[in-house]
Amino acid sequence: MHRCEALVIHCIDFRLRKALTAYLAPRFFEGYDLISVAGSVQALNSEGVERDFLLKQLQISSRLHSPKTILLIQHEDCGAYGGSRAFSSPEEERAAQRAELDKAETLLMKSFPQAIEKYFIPLSGKVISF
């Protein structure tokens, strides 16, 4: 039996890589399961085949690796949401992304027993926990 500490869901955006590695690698030294899709939790929050696909990936990770924690990570200037210009201010963008994370958390809590952590990453790289 092999178990991992966490399952991480984040966007494909390459600009996040350094911040994500700096935050995740020391914390989950033994590694973690990763689902990386454009827009991160956006697909979970929209009904359809993308949500079904992601939920299946989450179920597989849970069944095979029993992750203790699920980390949901959104980021600034995400192209899946139209980038930062789709929001009137950085505060509005952050609030909207927080709402997206809260919505996805509510969905996952119905089916997954793991603790859920929510994060937002500004392009400056400093990871913010919600």
Pick 66 or 127: Cβ nearer Zn ion: 127
For CA atoms 130, 95, 23, 114, give the dihedral sign: positive
Q: Distance of CA 35 to CAs 85, 124, 129, Å?
A: 26, 23, 19
The single residue listed with the structure tokens 């809590």 is 109
Draw the binding track, 16-55, toward Zn ion (x: CB under 5 A; -: no contact).
----------------------------------------
Stretch that binds Zn ion, among 3-11, 21-29, 48-56, 84-92 (CB under 5 A): 3-11
Measured at the alpha carbon of residue 15, what is the angle toward residues 37 and 9, in degrees to the nearest 5? 30
Contact mark string toward Zn ion, 66..105, x via CB under 5 A: ------------x---------------------------
